[in-house]
Amino acid sequence: MSVPHGLALQERLMNKGTAVPWQAGMDMSGWYPVSVAHGADAIDVHWRDMGETRFSDSFFENTLARQPREQRRTCRTPLAALAQFNDGLPPDAFIFHVSRCGSTLLTQMLATLPHCVVMSEPPIIDALLRLHHDSSTIDSIALLRSAMLALGQRRFGDESHYVIKFDCWHIHSLDLIRQAFPGTPCLFLYREPQAVLASHQRQRGPQMVPGMLHPALLPLPDHALAPGDLDGYAALVLASLYAAAHHHAAAGKLLLINYQQLPDIVFSDVLQRLGIGPTTGQLHAMRERSGRHAKYGTVFHGDQHGAAAGPLKAIAASLQPGYAALEALRIRHTQQQSRQDL
């Protein structure tokens, strides 16, 4: 059985629309998997027909919400229906991150390119990862691969590149995810702890609230935090993300990117790494997008987190070694690459 989680309501809202009955052999082009559901005798997939609506918003769910209500159609299929998608674009890059660290800015810059499909935190991935831990009768790798191919559909004829940004806690599932596409490069964006914690103080992400996520997807050490100590809990989560990223980066599985390297590293490294060659006009559009707020599209004047209060400052200081270890590893890898390029 699926463990209840705090994202269930969000998934139900995304699944609202005019129901279309599924039939075997039905053409699912233009339909996107959103979530999975446990029926009486089987596991089903919920889909949304996106018609002509492009995925250009900061997050997958925002594009679904932007679609006009009269165009929203839903379909519920057997889990096996995912397997019919085998000709979607294979992903050019996987983006992992610690949250509030510029990952949305990166994906929004890439989303300005008409030939680049960008999927930002599609909920079907989290649904399948939960299913992986709840069911012993499924082929998790095959399902993840099929879901990613379904998300990488060519709908407009000019798509040639494809990037997936995962939820921040999915760094703990990196080894499983990589098995779906072993050759796909993985990027990891991170930021110094005080800025991340201050951002979550203003508006907490679901991972920073106890009980919101499937426990297997966010493994945390035993702790004795008070129930209302959300800053303390956020510190545990952030520490786990730093540690998991360091483990994978030290094994050569991640390209590390510091928030401070944005947006310049997109033009100096990321585009070439992904084999993307934008036109002059497209580069201008990317630079223009980099000057606006990643999530809201307004002119960006810098983060206004200010000086941290005593407790938050102390918590951030306790996380500094994990952040510093990532920085040291990134700098060492950069130096090694520079020597190889000589």
Task: Give residue 211's identity as a one-letter amino acid code.
Answer: G
pLDDT score at 339? 80
Cis peptide before 263 (omega within 30 of 0): yes
Orientation of helix 193-202 relative to helix 230-250, angle to 10°: 140
Is the entire prediction scored with pTM above 0.75?
yes
- 12-38 as b/e, with b when 16 or more CB fall inside 10 Å? eebbebeeeebeeeeebeebbbbbbbe
Strands (E), the chain: 18-19, 31-38, 43-49, 73-78, 93-97, 116-120, 161-165, 186-190, 255-258
According to DSSP, the β-strands at 186-190 and 255-258 are: parallel
According to DSSP, residue 270 is labeled I
**Token pair of 286 as six digits:** 């990317």
Per run of 10 residues, the mean pLDDT along the chain (length 342 residues) is 64 93 93 89 94 95 96 95 88 98 97 97 97 92 97 94 98 98 98 97 96 95 92 98 98 97 97 95 96 73 57 95 98 88 74
Specify the pairing of strand 18-19 against strand 43-49: unpaired
> Which tokens sit at 186?
């993985």
Q: Which token pair is 1?
A: 């059985």
| pLDDT for 84 | 80
